[in-house]
Structure 1
Amino acid sequence: MITLDNISKRYGSQLLYVDASMSVFRGEKIGLVGPNGAGKSTIFRLIVGEDEPDEGAVSVERGLTIGYFDQDVGELSGCSVLRATMAGAGEVSALATELAALEQAMADPARGDELEALVERYGEVQPRYDALGGYELEPRAHAILAGLGFEADRVAADVGELSGGWKMRVALARILLMGPDVLLLDEPTNHLDIESILWLEGFLREFSGAVVMTSHDRELLNRLVTKIVEIDGGELTTYTGDFDFYEQQRELAAAQHEAQYARQEAALAKERAFIARFAARASHAAQVQSRVKKLDKIEKLDPPRRRKIVDFEFPKPPRSGNDVVRFEGVDKRYGAKVIYEGFSLTVRRLERWAIMGINGAGKSTLLKLIAGRTQADAGSVTIGASVTLGYYAQHAMELLDPTQTVLEALQVEHPRASQGSLRNLLGAFGFSGDDVDKPCRVLSGGEKARVALAKMLYVPPNFLVLDEPSNHLDLDTKQMLVRALKDFEGTMVFVSHDRAFLAQLSNRVLEIGPEGARSYGGGYLEYVAQTRREAPGAR
């Protein structure tokens, strides 16, 4: 269906690909992976013709329909969420508009002299519209929007009133409704909650066309894709299998290459030593020349390339009291909406609470009550003895000063810290060398999230309150954060839509629902086993 054949692509001094190739076959589910800046999004732009390779060719089968979702949704306003979704459904959407115009024209007495031509055109358009499933378009749009978290009253609302994250969902719904031969999805889960991710996973599993996607959701890649294409160091390497299999094979290939390189280097060193030792002796001239020629003919292996991942280790925090935070009879309302009524909970030292609940259930409100960012209407929230709290808000990255550099953002927060220690911390979060001098205004969403996390973690709190800390983080940085938090010798309360993050870090679950809050002993995996669902609102 789609072939990239020996393509090369450069942006200024940055070389993305050299003689790189990949193919997409009918019905395949492919995960596109690689470090930030490797060129994953460029692959999508090459396929849809928004960009061209410097060398090589991109071939797309004639008549192939492609649906492309990226992070730039453009301007959406002036119509309802439903109409905006249906407007992106490709040919069937255009036919629906034409049918409506034809029906209006045929009912207009002033256009009676055109009636025969209008009826003839209607007879051409209507069968095509029917064949494309046009009469099922609106019910399908409702189903997709519901799957992506839109409640019925919101579907009729003006799309222009939505936040950026909800507009992203509308843009994704348009592409899914289109039903193309190939879906190109660039980070489709970035703004989705866990219920919507689970719905999307099921939708894509049943989708009969091909899917090529990038995602920072490890669990989604493991469950959905059957092929991984890695972009790294200018090469595209294809692995048949899920993400875990790809990681195993990549490590195995890297280990084998390192061993081969070491053996070759040892052999070459031996030959070079012989040449250096006997180069000046006439009696060995023939042997020296023979070995020089032999060295020239050997195809040298490239040095091993290891992706540099710096780990962050929490300094041991001071010990807190056994009761870290206590809720007693807490009421919280927003207008007429009751969030909590008579809510009580005690979080004890070393517990790691994952907070679960559908959109609007009050997950972020719970964390804000702990952090003192909002107050209870009744009851009390008491922080325990010797507790030092670190709070990461869902939109913490939006609070960065755009005029400050990455390093300055940390220096302002921690004025007594040495520049070396701050640079080491930033290195763990992917900022090395001159990266620390980038102004915050030019950073991507993922880079801003990493700066915000680094600011919070320099001084070790003994109680972490984290609202979606893994949002926008790439797979490597996310796994680095998980490793660090696993070794954290303190207490945690967190919200996350990442199932791998939930599974690896929680040892308690609090589910917030319409009937109140219910706690579960054991972590997320035990919660799934007990409830037989992966999220409170999972369908």
Structure 2
Amino acid sequence: MKVLLQVKGVEKRYGSFTVLHDATAAIGEGMKVGVMGRNGAGKSTLCRILTGEEEPDAGEVIRARDLRLGYLAQHDPWEPGEAVLPFLMRHTGLEEWVCGRAAARFALKGEVLEKAVDALPGGFRTRVKLAAMIAEDPDFLILDEPTNFLDLSTLLLLQEFLAGYRGGALVVSHDREFLKRTCDHTLEVEHGELTLFPGDLEAWFEEKEVRMELAARTNAAVAAKKAQLQDFINRFGAKATKATQAKSKAKEMARLHSIEIRHPLPTARIRIPPVEERKGNAFVLEDLAIGYPGRRVAAGIHFTIERGARIAVVGDNGQGKTTFLRTLAGDLAPLQGTVKRGHAVEVAVYAQHVYENLDPEDTVLSHLEKGAPFAQTRQDALDMAGCFLFSGEAVNKKVEVLSGGERARLCLAGLLLQAKPVLLLDEPTNHLDFATVEALGAALREFNGTVLCISHDRTFVSMMEAEILEVDGGRVRMRAGEYGDYVDDLERRVRASIGAAPDGEKKEKKGAADWAEAKRLRSERAKARNGLKKAEERMRALEAERDRLAAAVRDHPSDAGRYRVLHEREIDLRKAEEEWLAAQALVERLGEG
């Protein structure tokens, strides 16, 4: 196997802190390497050194001469107002059909290609970056936390692409399921060193446990043998007749070496303080519409959230998940309708980028003490800090020196210390390592309060054992079934969305003629989608009028005229639903191009 990237004896220091020490590994062509390690272990530093963004303080990185390296841009490389396809063509210098083919791999097709990139939801902007990365046909990709802030649809598209990609990749991610599905090698960054294992993440965990057990058994055998030899030396070393044998035993004992077993790194043990148990509802949502002045995001929201519920809020980026949580929190006023809270319902909110607002001069402990309720003691703050791996002198570290993962842990610790009965969490697992993600999921599962959580981490949501609330297409509704059913359904839809596009290496590449044919179909597809949109709008308007009339009938049960009008609207609504089904069928028949 040809070696594409080789790291030899690399060291990297920041001030007095050594991040990488004698780091050594060789990565061959076609290898897909999942990188794991704790927050601050040096994973991102390694990526920056491999791409040439940073230089090592010692050692070297050897790259194959013909290596075509691709990596995900951390900044936004498009110009204000620049549309998707023109950006891809300008950025890569490639022909329209080549850029269109790359975009199609991430379900960027049809009218989306003509929209301004900066007007697209966050998940779609990341898709544009991914398309720009692969359009130039790299043979090795370096992806540092590509799943952070992605919606699940985009994450599944990236997962599908990597699974069929013939080139190699080095992927840093704290999404355990994503690494399991995409990588065939594992690189652990720990204690500043690199350990490359020829197997996936789960196989590495098993292998590491076996190695620890073997080392412990070997050390026990070595200790027993040394004790036996030392006993012989003690008994016979002074006797002239046994002196030669005693010296031989001493040499034998000197040749015995135990295997160094490093103390395992501590893991988060999160315990959320229990809250007073009450019965009844946490929230009652009535005829709720959410959004911003001049822009309605979702409407027609009617349901109740009971106390003690655990709810995972799912849906694509830009559909309104964060807007919904902010409305429940009281941060945004409803555009219509009401959000009624149960008695003594108080909320604690974790926002996506909350760690960016920390005071850099605060220490871990002072931050926790500032945000803690009056009833909490310093020991309560210290105990919560310890739950999130801040113990000993670590509680005196200033915020300004904390890594992104450490800041996220600190924010979560402060949030849980508030002991509020309702937790509203928006992407709490971003920047957290495997162990902390799973500890948080387990703690939320045992929490006796109410939890609404936005997350695209499949392992985390599964551990929470939550109900599913889907925000999609202007609607917010509880979804029946298990979370796994939702993911399976979404995977089918994602595969269907790229079915007409080249499937990595399984289909022949399409040329300019194919691209022209695809372009010819756009107009017909756009008309079908427009018809579907109008049918949806008509159906929603009739639903709203039906609900208004039904309320009027309830208020005036003896008015026969109102019953008649309500019956007519129900007939209109059934016709509108039939029109919508026909429009939906036409869109599906024409495909998602």
For Structure 1 versus Structure 2, the TM-score category normalised by the shorter chain is: 0.7 to 0.9
Secondary structure, aligned partner of 2:186: strand
CA spacing shift, 1:70–1:372, aligned 2, 3 Å: same
Q: What is the aligned partner in structure 2 of residue 398 from structure 1?
A: 356
Residues 290 and 324 in structure 2, CA contact (< 8 A), matched pair in contact too: no
Structure 2 vs 1, CA of residues 38 and 442 (structure 1 numbering), >3 Å: closer, same or farther? Answer: closer
Q: Which 10-residue stretch deviates more, 416-425 or 474-483?
A: 416-425
Query: Counterpart of 2:4 in structure 1: which amino acid?
Result: I
Match of 1:59 among 59, 62, 67: 62
Match for residue 139 of structure 1 among 74, 92, 100: 100
Deviation at 1:215, TM superposition (A): 0.8
Q: CA deviation at 1:377?
A: 2.8
AA matched with 1:526: D
RMSD, aligned α-carbons: 3.5
Q: Is the 8 A contact 1:507 1:521 kept in 2?
A: no
Instruction: Identify the residue that residue 130 of structure 1 maps to in structure 2.
Output: none
Q: Which one is further off, 140-149 or 7-16? A: 140-149
Q: Does the CA-based 8 Å contact 2:425-2:452 persist in structure 1?
A: yes
- Cα distance change on mapping 1:516 and 1:278 into 2, 3 Å: same
How is 1:421-432 mapped onto 2 (pairs within 5 angstroms)?
421-432=380-391
Instruction: Indicate the SS of the match to 1:212.
Output: strand
Change (3 A) 1:49 1:517: closer
The 1:235–1:515 alpha-carbon spacing in structure 2 relative to 1, beyond 3 Å, is closer
Contact 1:503–1:523 (8 Å) recurs in 2: no
**Aligned equivalent of 2:197, options 234, 239, 254:** 239
The answer to whether residue 464 in structure 2 is matched with residue 462 in structure 1 is no
> How has the CA–CA distance of structure 1 residues 189 and 19 changed in structure 2, closer, same or farther, with 3 Å as cutoff?
same
> Which of residues 157, 160, 169 is equivalent to 1:199?
157
In the alignment, which residue of structure 1 is the partner of 2:431?
Answer: 472
CA distance in 2, matches of 1:75, 1:432: 41
| Residue equivalent to 1:156 | 116
Question: What amino acid does structure 2 have at the position aligned with 1:248?
Answer: E
Instruction: Note if contact 2:9-2:58 (Cα within 8 Å) is conserved in structure 1.
Output: yes
Counterpart of 1:447 (choices 400, 406, 426) is 406
1:502 correspondence with 2:461: yes
Number of aligned positions between the proteins: 493
Confirm whether residue 180 of structure 1 aligns to residue 124 of structure 2.
no
Residue matched to 2:72:
69
Tell me, in whole angstroms, the C-alpha distance in 2 between the residues paired with 1:303 and 1:529: 42
Residue of structure 2 equivalent to 1:113: none
SS in 2 for 1:208: coil
Q: Shift of residue 464 of structure 1?
A: 1.9
C-alpha contact (below 8 Å) 2:4/2:29 kept by paired residues: no
Q: TM-score, normalised by structure 2?
A: 0.73
Write out aligned runs for 1:281-360 (5 A).
288-360=246-318
Distance 1:164 1:362, change over 3 A: closer
Counterpart contact for 1:81–1:170, Cα < 8 Å = no
Kindly state the Cα deviation for residue 409 of structure 1 after the two structures are TM-superposed: 1.0
Question: Which AA in structure 1 matches 2:47?
Answer: F
Q: 1:321, 1:384 within 8 Å by CA — same for their partners in 2? A: no
Deviation at 1:392, TM superposition (A): 1.5
Letter in 2 for 1:139: G
Equivalent in 324, 335, 343 of residue 377 of structure 1: 335
Q: What's the CA shift for 1:456? A: 0.7
The alpha-carbon deviation at position 474 of structure 1 amounts to 1.9
Which of 35, 39, 43 matches 1:40? 43
Q: Give, in angstroms, the shift of residue 17 of structure 1.
A: 5.0
Q: Partners in 2 of 1:169 and 1:272 — Cα distance?
A: 66
Distance in structure 1 (CA, Å) of the matches to 2:109 and 2:387: 34
Secondary structure (helix, strand or coil) at the match of 2:205 reads helix
**For the structure 1 residues 472 and 5, does the alpha-carbon distance in structure 2 shift closer, same or farther, using more than 3 Å as the test?**
closer
Summarize deviations over 1:185-223 as a string: whole Å, max 9, x none.
Answer: 111122322111111112222322111111111111011
Residues of 2 paired with 1:536 and 1:335: CA distance?
36
Q: What is the alpha-carbon distance in structure 2 between the residues aligned to residue 514 and residue 536 of structure 1?
A: 20
Aligned twin of 2:546: none
Separation (CA, whole Å) in 2 of partners of 1:148 and 1:489? 45
Q: Which amino acid aligns with 1:323?
A: N
Residue 429 of structure 1 deviates from its aligned partner by 1.7
The secondary structure found in structure 1 opposite 2:279 is: coil
- State the shift of 1:323 in Å: 1.7
Secondary structure of 2:352's aligned partner? coil
State the shift of 1:171 in Å: 4.6
Residue 510 of structure 2 is matched in structure 1 by: none
Return the alpha-carbon distance in structure 2 between the equivalents of residues 470 and 537 of structure 1: 29
Q: After TM superposition, give the deviation of residue 330 of structure 1 in Å.
A: 1.3
Deviations 1:56-111 (A, max 9, x none): 5533222221113364x38765672545544443xxx2xx6xxxxxxxxxxxxxxx
Shift in Å, 1:267: 3.7
Q: CA offsets per residue over residues 150-190 of structure 1, 9 Å max, x none?
A: 9556x435x5x999998766554432332211111111122
Q: What secondary structure is seen at the aligned counterpart in 1 of 2:441?
A: helix
Relative to structure 1, the CA distance from residue 464 to residue 360 in structure 2 (aligned partners, 3 Å threshold; closer, same or farther) is same
State which of 358, 377, 383 in structure 2 corresponds to 1:418.
377
Q: Which runs of 5 or more structure 1 residues have no equivalent in the other structure? A: 97-133
Aligned to 1:226: 184
Structure 2 vs 1, CA of residues 333 and 311 (structure 1 numbering), >3 Å: closer, same or farther?
Answer: closer
Q: Note the C-alpha offset of 1:48.
A: 3.5
In the TM superposition, residue 344 of structure 1 has moved relative to its aligned partner by 0.9
Amino acid at match of 1:355: V
3-state secondary structure, aligned to 2:318: coil
Distance 1:417 1:280, change over 3 A: farther
* Alpha-carbon spacing, 1:259–1:449, altered in 2? closer, same or farther (3 Å): same
Question: Quick one: which amino acid aligns to residue 209 of structure 1?
Answer: G
Alpha-carbon deviations, 1:497-529, whole Å to 9, x = none? 112222221431122222633322343113345
Mark the CA change 1:19 to 1:340 in structure 2 (over 3 Å): closer, same or farther. Answer: closer
TM-score (norm 1): 0.80
SS of residue paired to 1:341: strand
* 1:396/1:223 CA distance change after superposition, 3 Å: same
Rate the CA distance shift 1:301–1:349 in 2: closer, same or farther, 3 A: same
Structure 2: which 5+ runs fail to align?
A: 499-593
The DSSP-based 3-state class of the residue aligned with 1:327 is strand
